[in-house]
Structure 1
């Protein structure tokens, strides 16, 4: 208690140091865990936040729950070949559809604007490019090898389905609150004949309803890719045949024609079924 008497102010309270056992003092300091990666404070956002809207070329209602959608999507890309190319020999193209997501319209509200259903499409065009690379040249000849280069060119589009299709409705979840009547005595200042009558504020009663709508799906039926590839950095070759040149950067313009079947299964409305019995 020696340290307590060193406090000269009557309102000040002093405490001795906390007792630490010897076995705690002899323990080694904990080492930091290995391979700790720094935490990024903010996520990386994509460069593009908006998507072009494509008007479908054709919409055919094949059944109450299916539709045939044909859409034309323009796309452009610039890519670089791994080596200098003398000439492009062949390009094989294949369509990859990675996203086909249906957005139904919201329920109509009086005096509120009504949107149309949308279809988000996205994917890649796989390009297998075969080109010649010059390895040796003379004044009258060029010798080379055939190289192969595969690249995925991304594309994306939002299709406005308009108001022509008959689309099964989407059922929305609901929450309904209810309360019970409560009657309690009033504090002093009120007549003893009076009561405080209201809902019970100390409770929360909720009825939650969920509808499990079937997920819309897509089936790819047909695709066509019309592409034009142009060299951007072609440089003429010297001391060789007239008109020959090399390039590596290529600009490609494509028109992608897609036809797919949109399947929108109708949700089961249990309330309607019960009323029909």
Structure 2
């Protein structure tokens, strides 16, 4: 059903009629009733954005560069068992490298000390000689390889010097307050003052400087093959790893002030008469 409103515009109205009792179920429906949120739903309204102005502009004479906070050396011991695909008579060659997956610096209650959490793994590749055929005078086989990933993790202390570069972390803060009511005998419950400041600090990071390995490989499950030759099906690894790490943080470093070189003095005047 449609009708004209006071402004002269034509408005569409909808009515629903009940089957049992038309008088009780005869009411009006707006066209967009199904789009309106319920009265108890969450919503935001009356949002106003005001103009902003720059209060202060700073042009610091600094440069942002990675600053070395500390260098540390940590010794890690790793033990593992490696099962070979085929029985081996000897290990021909072995390569090892360390990969750091996680290096996180966590401040402590002392501003000049922190905890360094490191997690990674050793990638070890070995080549070994297998046994296929034997005779009283020889042993024949293929050269195979195996790559193993041996995980490790540790936590170590880092102490920063009080006179040198140290970890720079500006803290956040928040505050709140209340206003007194008109009678002066209490606070206004429906009004509050809140303030907070969040600083986005530079996260420290690590760099791997060097790695050193010493190890002992022990063949297990020995079995006589021919004469004095024995084969083994597993290798027990005992590795001592030394890791050199550098901890850095991007910081603002002042630029050096270079004074201009004064001009050379003028040559002396010669008053000699010829």
Per the normalisation by structure 1, the TM-score is 0.60
Match among 135, 153, 156 for residue 153 of structure 2: 156
> Given the superposition, is the C-alpha separation of residues 79 and 206 from structure 1 closer, same or farther in structure 2, using an over 3 Å criterion?
farther
Q: Distance in 2 between matches of 1:181 and 1:267?
A: 44
> Given the superposition, is the C-alpha separation of residues 175 and 136 from structure 1 closer, same or farther in structure 2, using an over 3 Å criterion?
same
Q: Which residue number corresponds to residue 220 of structure 1?
A: 208
**Shift in Å, 1:259:** 1.4
Unaligned runs of 5+ in 1: 1-62, 109-114, 184-194, 269-277
CA contact (8 A) 1:229 1:251 kept: yes
Q: Which residue number corresponds to residue 168 of structure 1?
A: 167
> Given the superposition, is the C-alpha separation of residues 122 and 72 from structure 1 closer, same or farther in structure 2, using an over 3 Å criterion?
same
Q: Which residue number corresponds to residue 86 of structure 2?
A: 83
Match among 133, 141, 144 for residue 136 of structure 1: 133
**Shift in Å, 1:170:** 1.9
Q: Distance in 2 between matches of 1:163 and 1:67?
A: 7
* Residues 1:66 and 2:72 are matched in the alignment: no
Q: Which residue number corresponds to residue 15 of structure 1?
A: none
Residues 106-255 of structure 1 aligned to structure 2 (within 5 Å): 106=109, 116-162=113-159, 164=161, 167-183=166-182, 197-237=185-225, 240-242=226-228, 244-255=229-240
CA contact (8 A) 1:65 1:266 kept: no
**What is the root-mean-square deviation in Å for CA atoms of aligned residues?**
2.5
Unaligned runs of 5+ in 2: 1-65, 254-274
Indicate the structure with greater strand content: 2
Describe the superposition over 1:120-168 as per-residue Cα deviations: whole angstroms up to 9, x where unpaired.
1121111111001101112322110000111111111111124656523
Q: Give the secondary-structure state (helix, strand or coil) at the position aligned to 1:264.
A: strand
CA contact (8 A) 2:84 2:234 kept: yes
Q: Give the secondary-structure state (helix, strand or coil) at the position aligned to 1:197.
A: coil
**Shift in Å, 1:81:** 1.8
Q: Distance in 1 between matches of 2:85 and 2:192?
A: 66
CA contact (8 A) 1:179 1:205 kept: yes
Q: Distance in 1 between matches of 2:191 and 2:219?
A: 72
Describe the superposition over 1:37-69 as per-residue Cα deviations: whole angstroms up to 9, x where unpaired.
xxxxxxxxxxxxxxxxxxxxxxxxxx9753221
**Shift in Å, 1:258:** 1.4
**Shift in Å, 1:200:** 2.1
Q: Distance in 2 between matches of 1:225 and 1:65?
A: 25
Per the normalisation by structure 2, the TM-score is 0.61
Structure number with larger C-alpha Rg: 2
CA contact (8 A) 2:215 2:238 kept: yes
**Shift in Å, 1:266:** 4.4
Paired residue total: 186
Residues 250-261 of structure 1 aligned to structure 2 (within 5 Å): 250-261=235-246
CA contact (8 A) 2:131 2:142 kept: yes
Describe the superposition over 1:151-203 as per-residue Cα deviations: whole angstroms up to 9, x where unpaired.
111111111124656523422222111111114xxxxxxxxxxx572112334
